Every structure is written in C-alpha cells, then in structure tokens.
Structure 1
C-alpha cells in the first residue's frame, strides 16, 4: 500500500513514513493510492467477530506488510480491551430505526480514543524499530488533546506538545489534558481560537527548522492517516450489528474537521452499504454552507456550547475535494489557494456528485439544548451537545425512515456540564469511576500568546533532548 498527496507534488510513501510524516511536503494530506474493496459476502462473514478482530480485517490492507499481522492483531486487542464496555462501541436505540453509537467508552470519554489509543502503540512500535525520537505537535478543540496524551504518555520515543485555545475548552476537557503527569507531556494554552492553533501546527510542519535538525515533528491531529483508518472500523461495526451488509444504513456525524465523516465516506467506497451521510455542524457552519449551497467561505469563528466543533478550516475536507476533482492535486491546490482569498465554488457536476451521498445541517445552541432536553424527557438518555447536534441533524435531514439512522455519539455528557445545565435539566452527569478525582488532580499548563515564534521557541526549549 502506497500513499499519495492530495496536492500531487510530494513523493508517494509507505505506511511507516505516512504515520510519522503528517502533512506532505507539498502541504497536502496523504491518502491511499487505492482503496481495498470488500464484497458483501466477505463483510457478511465478519458477523460475530469481536471489535478488535473486525478492526484487523478492515485496517490490515492499509498497514500491509509494514507491521507483521500477529503484532498488529496484538496491538488492536490491547487497544480495545481498555474500553469500558465489552461491545467497545455499543448501540443505544432512541426511537424506531434511530440509534446512537456510543463512541465514548474509551479512557478519555471521546471518539478520538478509537484512533489515538492505537496511534500511540503504532508510533512506539515504529520508533523503537527505527531507534528514532520524534516531537508530536498537535492542536485540539477539546477531545483530541486528552486522547493523544493518554495514547502517547507511555511512549519512550515521543515528546508531545498539545495546543488548545485558552479558556475555550470545557473544564473537564482541559483537566483531562493538564493533569496527566510526565516529563514528555506539555500542554500549551494559546490566547486565540482553535483555527489559530491548527494554523501554527500546519506552518510548523511546513518548516521544521526551529527544531535545529535534531528531531522531526509527527502528527496526531486528524491529518494523520492512521486516525482516519481507525475510524472506518466503527461504521462496519454498526452495520453488522443492525442487519448489514444485507441492508443499507444512514449515519449522522457531528463534525468540525471532517475526519470522522470522511471515514464513513471511505467505508462506503470500500463496499459497505451506506445510503446517506449527514454532516452535522454548529454555528461554525462552513461545511453545511458548502454542501447545501456550493459556497466555501470562511466566516468569523464563534464560541458555542459544542466547542469541539468550533472550527472554521476543516482540514480533512481536502481529502474529499481530492476525490471530487478526479484525484487531480493541481486542481485541489488551486482551489484551496483561491479559498484563502475569498469564497469559492466547485463545478456544479462535482458538487451534485457529493450531494448524492451527503446532506448537512447547522444546529445552534438553542436547538442543541432543546434536543438534549427532549431526548432525556422521552428516553432518560443524556446526550452531550455534539451528539445532540448529530441527533437533531439526523431528524432534519433523514431521507428514508425505513433505513436505520445511526448518530455517532462522540463524547460523554459529563465533559460538558454547562450545556446540560443550559438545557434546563436538573440532572448532573457524573464522571466515570476512573475519573472521579479529576478536579482534585494537579494541573500543568503553559499559557502563551497567539504567536508562532513564541510557541516554536517553547517547543525547541522543552523537548527531551533539547
């Protein structure tokens, strides 16, 4: 399996190099040169497999011979046995043919655990093999940071620096990052928004001279192909649990960076019957505006009750644009360069091709709170604000009530008590037992100005072998 850049000017790489590289040298994102495809018969034969066995079948073609099959199987088993539910991603029914897939049963209570707990093991395996040390630099709007830190904190060959927007993540999200002890863990609160943090990460990957040639950056954000690869699996898992592949499913995905829903798009291309993918966004609705009206235009970023989706520049959307433009990197590069200057559209026939599979909706804070309250009053089931946006968007955009609709439950409601309180419910979501003392733990965090040179100087001074 080889990987190519969405902008067409970077060398093709194998899995190990893609794992460590993050952005391609031409500024693009790596995607597989070709996708594996599974027949209906093969997918049907996976019924009854454990989550880790299913994950092996779906992911092994992407890893190929970079990691021996037995070693990769062991990694997957170790990763998913740490989740707090035997089903790993249990499905909860809300109504007729309406489900929530709980993706928050991992150690940091968010869907990011599915990929990042595996990514830490993959990095350790490859870096030990190469006798190499890397610096992980990542940006988070809330959940990626804690999952990345948890996944990499035991890695001997990694220093990890996570940027988050100062005072713009929930207290639980912040404490999950800042209370993890370790000499290789560094939290940086940037006086800006998530897009500022993400921009710093992208620019640093483009020019790593601030590290003095002594190490290299590695990515844990959703630009890392391994993140996308791991998220494909739970679409197959949901399908097999609800009668697939002999029936089609629809999915509603709360998304800001487009990575999680892009994984669903790939699952369909790999042979899984999916009839509809709903892009569920909050007021930061660039994806909804594009999908509903073919206009890609950045607006001012707004702070909402669903902070993990407070994103205006959706990095992984480039991967979809690459496919929509016939995998022509030059066309993608030109489009994205024009998008930095103002609004852009794509050719109508390309946009209509995307609309065959994707629908979208933007849900404001009031509707988010209404949905949290309505679902609890009818089901005594508590949604976090991101999942609530997914449920509302699913109900607004559903094409066929006969097709099971699965909303991806992206985070535990205890991470967002303010949103629960805002919904008017008197119930207080409790943290799981393993996090019960979170508010008593000591925090470690450095607050820096919204300045790339200041952030790069901090990283250059604090990585282990600086």
Structure 2
C-alpha cells in the first residue's frame, strides 16, 4: 500500500516494478509480521541465505518458494565472506561488516537481490525495464553491478559531479556494458534525487518508458536490509545473556535505519532496545530526532559523501507510522515540506525519542574515531562507519551490546583514512588500478528536461 493512500493495494512483485507509488507516496506492507521468541530461536543455526528466505518470505506471497530460494541463494553467492555479513569485535562494540559484496558497500546486500529479482520478473512478463536512480556514492555502483549485462534492462544513474569519492566515481563510470548509462550532474545528490522523483511523478512518461526504481524508495531494498538486523540479533544472543541489543546506523536517506525500525517491530518486544541514528554535518535527521525539526539546510561536503543529503527519501515511510497510519495526514505534511522545506513534528517528540536516539558527528570527530579504533584495535573504519561508531559510543548503555553498521570498505575512502591514521588502507584486489581504468559518463546540468530527453533517446522500448 502507499503511505499516501491513493492506490489500491498491490502484490509484492507489482510493488517492486512500481518503485514509487503512483500517488507519489512510498510503498509499505499492509502489516508487519511478528516473530515470536520460539521462531526466532529456531533460526539460530541458519546460514545467511536461509535466514534471508525466512524473513523475506513473510512479506512475499506471489513468488513460488523454490524460485525465491534460488533468487536469494544466487544473490549472496557473490559475496566474499562465508557468512556474508561478519561481526567483528572491537572491545565492547560489535562491527557488522556489510561491505563484502561486489562493490564493497552495504548497498550490495539489497541490490544483488533486486537485480536478480528484476531479471526474473521481466523474463516471466516479457516486458523491458529502464531503471532510473540517483546516488550519493554507493547506490549507483551497487545498482550497476546488480544489473550490468542483464537482458531487458537498461540503467541510468545520476551522481553529483565531483562530489563522490574518486573510487566511487570509477566504480560506476568504468563499467562499459551496453546497458549502463552514467550521468554526472552539476549539483548535489538532493538535486539528482529531486529530478528522479519529478520524473517518476509523471505517470504518463514513467509508463511510456517502463521506468523502474532502484533507489531505496523501492520497498524490496528496505526488505533485504531487514535481514541483517535479525542476523545480528541471533549472533549476539548466542554470545550474550538476554539477547537484547542496540544498533548504531550511519544514515543519510533513512533507508538503512528504517529497515532496523521494521526489524524492531517484527522481533520480540525488547530484542532491539535502541536504534541510534548517526549523521554527519548534514544533520536534518538528527535534528528531527532531537528537536522534532525536519527542515532543509545547505548540503555540506564531508568525508562521508554518501550521507551528504538533506531530504531523506525514506523519511515518509516512518512518518506514516508516526502519524498512526493516517495517509491523508502524511500527504498533507509531505506537500507542506515540498512547499516550504520544513515540517514541525515537535508535538510527536516523545514517540520519536522512543523509536530513536540521534547524534550528528563532526569531521574532526570522524577522523579522531578512525584513529582511535585503529590505534586501539588495529582495525580501520571508513568515514561513514566512523560516524556510526562515534554515535554508538555516545549512546552505549551498560550491559546492552552495541552493533555498529560498517557500511563501506575503508579503501573506498582512502584519502580520509590516510589523513586519520597516516597511511592509506590496503586496497582489495577488486579496486587495484581502478583509478586508471577507462570510463564513460555524460556530464549534464541538473535540469529535469535535459534528463528526460536523454532518457527518451537511450531507453529500451518494448
């Protein structure tokens, strides 16, 4: 269903292909399944892919069991860690490494699955799909790797010109498959995301070009990310007493922490005690949690560019629950935000603070945290993960394990790491020589009509 209530309920597979709801809202399941303690306990011995099936199948009722299992198994076979998302212990913090996929970022966990899912659904329907997305860094390369070379799909990714790391840029632009189109826009990620939302809101154009979404506005992205919260809860409960835990999540678009919010509602009461929302200097989300102030500021460039965002794409999903599932209220407030760049939610602060804690982390604190963890544990954090670790340290409570999400391999942000610890991180084999690779990219203004014309000329048609 849509957060704005303007469409009839659709099955999961239609929601995947729709991306953004046709009334401009975001899609959510009508109910969140509850997992009791006995069921959770029965999952303790499962490998990651089997656990992913158990979690995701509770939301998916229109893909045959054997097909869904096959899609999930294929998606996680591409990861270089046996248990897909290993937990590393640094003192009393647990670091959940989410960067063992093809592009060394947490986005692979959802986008390997979504790429395979798109291919499966298109083969069944005989349709084509033109994927349009905007990226602040990691989504673009993970999306491209998820669908590169796949039949019936073309992908168009917008990124802010020279505002992603050099490695992130090359991971996107050095992919030469015929179905991959990279566009660098003069402007910020928010400018790119606004263009994507505007194009998706034009239903006639969206339908004519068979446009689909791969950003975290696609519900399947969030669903795949719910799994690693459940995985962490099972891992920690094997090593700690009562099985309750907290998470610190570096987030700019609210998607990763919203997956944690869904997991918290699914799992037994008290299993996830706290969700700590960690932002960098672009602090719209931490201001929202601490003051009820959801208002746009200027985008500041930081060493954690994937979080250099003001308008968070997934915020509307949480707003729907915060407003007691009243779609008309959601639509009204989102229209107010579109018009004024601000909504005041201070009257809901008690509930917001029950759901989240939040900290904005400065650039100096990012570098100091990378240095501190390296000096103490010989472990290197990337800048995004350092934002989460610092916030996790600030909010850790005695006796409650804190899991910090490590969202990217440090080698993707070598300059920041070297500045913090005096040496560059070791480059994994997949990144060796990447900065010298040939690349292909269109550079354009952040102009919706220019992007629309480019799509018309290069899209795949039925």
TM-score by length of 1: 0.96
Structure 2: tracts of 5 or more residues without a match: none
Relative to 1, partners in 2 of residues 1:436 and 1:342: Cα closer, same or farther, differing over 3 Å?
Answer: closer
Give the conservation status (yes or no) of the 8 Å contact 2:161–2:443: yes
Once residues 160 and 45 of structure 2 are traced to their aligned partners in structure 1, the CA distance between those partners, rounded to angstroms, is: 42
The 3-state SS of whatever aligns with 1:275 is: strand
What is the deviation of 1:214? 4.0
Counterpart for residue 216 of structure 1: 210
1:215 to partner: Cα distance: 3.0
Cα contact 1:210–1:460 (8 A) shared by 2:
no
Once the 2 structures are TM-superposed, how far is the Cα of residue 291 of structure 1 from its aligned partner? 0.4
In the TM superposition, 1:61-460 aligns within 5 A as 61-64=58-61, 66-96=62-92, 98-210=93-205, 214-243=208-237, 246-272=242-268, 273-340=271-338, 341-346=340-345, 348=347, 350-398=348-396, 400-423=397-420, 425-460=421-456
Measured after TM superposition, the shift of residue 357 of structure 1 is 2.8
CA deviation vs aligned residue, 1:426-445 (integer Å, no higher than 9, x gap) = 22113211332322321010
The alpha-carbon distance between structure 1 residues 166 and 342, as it changes in their structure 2 partners (threshold 3 A), is closer
In structure 2, distance between residues paired with 1:219 and 1:206: 12
Instruction: Note the residue ranges of structure 1 that are not aligned, 5 or more in a row.
Output: none
Structure 2 CA distance, aligned partners of 1:220 and 1:80?
Answer: 18
Q: What stretches of structure 1 move > 6 A for 4+ residues in a row?
A: none
Whole-angstrom CA distance in 2 between matches of 1:27 and 1:71 = 31
CA distance in 2, matches of 1:269, 1:18: 21
Task: Work out whether residues 209 and 459 of structure 2, in 8 Å CA contact, stay in contact via their aligned partners in 1.
Answer: no
Offset, 1:383: 0.2
Specify the SS of the correspondent of 1:61: coil
The alpha carbon displacement at 1:347 in A equals 5.8
Contact (CA 8 Å) 1:173, 1:415: kept in 2 or not? yes
Q: Secondary structure at the match of 2:136?
A: coil
| Equivalent position of 1:28 in the other structure | 25
How far off is 1:154 after superposition? Answer: 2.9
Please report the RMSD computed on the Cα atoms of aligned residues, expressed in angstroms.
1.4
- Superimposed CA distance per residue, residues 122-151 of structure 1 (whole angstroms, 9 cap, x where no aligned partner): 001111111000110000000000000000
Q: Assess if the C-alpha contact under 8 Å between 1:275 and 1:357 holds in 2.
A: no
How far apart, CA to CA, are the structure 2 residues paired with 1:346 and 1:286? 13
Shift, 1:464, TM fit: 3.4
Once residues 281 and 443 of structure 1 are traced to their aligned partners in structure 2, the CA distance between those partners, rounded to angstroms, is: 31
Pairs aligned (count): 457
SS of match in other structure, 1:107:
coil
Aligned equivalent of 1:19:
16
1:228-247 CA-partner distances (Å, limit 9, x unpaired): 00000000111111116942
Matched residue SS, 1:36: coil
| Alignment partners' CA distance in 2, 1:343 and 1:160 | 32
